[in-house]
Structure 1
Amino acid sequence: MICVSLPFVDEKTVGRLLDQKFLVEVRLDLAKDKSAFCKVVKKYKQIVVTYRGGDDIAVRAKFFEKAIDCGIAYVDLGITDSELKNILEEKLKNSPTRLILSYHNFDVTPAKEKLVDIYEKCRSEGADIVKIVTMSNGVADNAVIMSLYEFSQGDMIAFGMGNKGKITRIIAPFLGAPFTYACYSRGKKTAQGQIDYKSLKNMIATIEKYL
């Protein structure tokens, strides 16, 4: 499955993507206008709500709580968001919403052992899915990232950022990732190295023909 990451909140766009069987990530931290958020999460459920740091934790918690109350598919918290996780813990226990705990390294790909430790730590803290995203600076980094799936219980999404990490975004679903991420369009990227969802869909479909 492909998750289309949106840096804006728009009911029609979300609905159109869901009709095409995509998962949709709403990046509230990148959205200038959040006014349509409540309407979107009330109407649609196959959504990942992500709200990275920067704004007041109480403000972020309010949006996450609304999403969980509406029963959306996933909320995505950073591994350093322990206070926010504690606030949401009880709601998550009584909701169908699943928790993604994310680790990002925007500079390098750390050693495999460190990344495996992060994966295990996130699982022990109640993550339904562990997302590990690092900067790929070449083939060796891609090999480290892809090797992580050896330890996955079907609950890991791992890929590399940057142009050199693009291949890992394409391969991830074939190694066991529940989904991979794409941008809405080339001008609407939410991370380095993202591929637009139409192109990524075609690439994955081409590979599937030979499997």
Structure 2
Amino acid sequence: MRKPSPPQIVGVIFTRADLQRAVRMRNPPDLFELRLDAFLGRDDEVEAALADLGAPLIITARHPLEGGSNQLSARKRRGLLWRFLPHAAYVDIELRSAGPFAALLAEVRAKRVRTILSFHDLKKTPSRSRLDEIARVARSLGADLLKIATRTDTVAELDRLLDFFRGERLRSDIAAMGIGRLGRASRFEFARHRSVLHYGHLRQPQAEGQLSVAQLRRLLK
């Protein structure tokens, strides 16, 4: 049986205040995630601060249909990822963007930066067959890690996501989480089941149910 990677805490940098907090942290999380789509027009300011971060960096520029800020075009998002790639330990790209970003993904692998292929459904938790297909495509594209976030407003949705996660983690590294009415409960459940990545806020939640980095530390002890 494949041994899953140990869980890690990710501090999400979504605002200027988050960035300022991150560079001052004496006890940083395992990783930081930089939401490049949220920092429109502040590229130079953000890049100058990265040397002061005390943990490796995940970069992502989220697609607008998956919760991205500022309605950025594919060209703009791709450009941001190219620019910040030298600072990254991981690059997170949505599965829907894998085709248009194929050249970028090739460069990511050439530089031995790890790839996270992600899927976010802000309206529902898809069927089990659809979740299985998402995972199959991510594996076929060579993802180092699959990240799935879906809306979990009902117990049935949360159970479906958990059931999928328990099966998929035997095949590949996966991070899963719910948002919505049972989003907070999902964070506890996926911590108990040892999801690979646990995303926490530094100041204010950016998704329904998101815990803070400090709460995640206590939870994963």
Q: TM-score, normalised by structure 2?
A: 0.80
How many residue pairs were aligned? 202
Change (3 A) 1:2 1:99: same
Deviations 1:118-155 (A, max 9, x none): 01111111211111111001221111111122222341
Partner of 1:208: none
Deviation of 1:200 (Å): 2.6
* 1:89 maps to 2:99: no
Query: Which 10-residue stretch deviates more, 118-127 or 44-53?
Result: 44-53
Residue type of the alignment partner of 1:64: L
SS of 2:37's partner is coil
Report the 3-state secondary structure (helix = DSSP H, G, I; strand = E; otherwise coil) of the residue aligned with 2:182.
helix
The CA deviation at 1:43 is 5.4
Cα distance in 2 for residues equivalent to 1:118 and 1:83: 14
- Structure 2: distance between partners of 1:201 and 1:164: 20
Kindly report the root-mean-square deviation, in angstroms, between the aligned alpha carbons of the 2 structures: 2.3
Is the 2:14–2:35 contact (alpha carbons within 8 Å) kept by the matching residues of 1?
A: yes
| Superposed displacement of residue 92, structure 1 | 1.1
Question: What pairs up with 1:1-211 in 2 under 5 angstroms?
Answer: 1-9=8-16, 12-17=20-25, 19-32=27-40, 33-42=42-51, 44=53, 46-53=56-63, 54-70=71-87, 72-148=88-164, 149-152=166-169, 153-185=171-203, 188-205=204-221
Q: Which runs of 5+ in 1 are unaligned?
A: 206-211
Structure 2 unpaired stretches of 5+: 1-7, 64-70
Q: CA shift at 1:39, angstroms?
A: 2.5
**Residue pair 1:8, 1:26 contacting (<8 A) in 2 also:** no
**Residue identity opposite 2:190 in structure 1:** A
Following superposition, the deviation at residue 65 of structure 1 comes to 1.7
After alignment, is 148-157 or 6-15 more displaced?
6-15
| TM-score scaled by length of structure 1 | 0.83
Distance 2:109 2:28 in 1: 30
% identical equivalent positions: 23
**Bigger relative contact order, structure 1 or 2 (CA pairs below 8 A, ≥6 apart):** 2
Distance between the aligned counterparts of 2:112 and 2:26, measured in 1? Answer: 18
Taking a change above 3 Å as real, the CA distance of residues 11 and 197 of structure 1, as seen in their structure-2 partners, is closer
> For the structure 1 residues 123 and 182, does the alpha-carbon distance in structure 2 shift closer, same or farther, using more than 3 Å as the test?
same
